[in-house]
Structure 1
C-alpha cells in the first residue's frame, strides 16, 4: 500500500504540480459526462438529418 501512495503522490506532482492534488475520479466523471453529452448531441443530429429532406446521397 505504501508503494501505491508513493506512486500516487509522484503522479500528483507530475500532473498538477506540488501544491495541488489530482482527483482521478473527478476527471473520469467529467470525461464521462462530456462523452455522454457528445453522444446525445450526435444522436439528436442524426435523427434530425434522417427526418430532413436532404438528398439521400448527401446524407451518406
Structure 2
C-alpha cells in the first residue's frame, strides 16, 4: 500500500488538486505495479503565514 504525502502552499483549485492526485496515482501505479485502489495520496496544504524560506514567511513576500 503506497502512501504519498504531498505538502504544498494552499491556493490551488479543486480541479488542480484532482489532477495532481490522479497524476501521482498513475505514476505510482506505473512505477511500482501497485493497484490504483491501494495508492493513498495525502495532501497537506499550508497557509502562506505558516511556511517560510530563508527566514521569510511566504505571506510577507512581495
TM-score by length of 2: 0.34
Higher relative contact order (CA 8 A, sep 6+): 2
Q: Which structure's residues are more often helix, by fraction?
A: 1
In terms of Rg, which structure is larger? 1
- Pick the structure with more strand per residue: 2
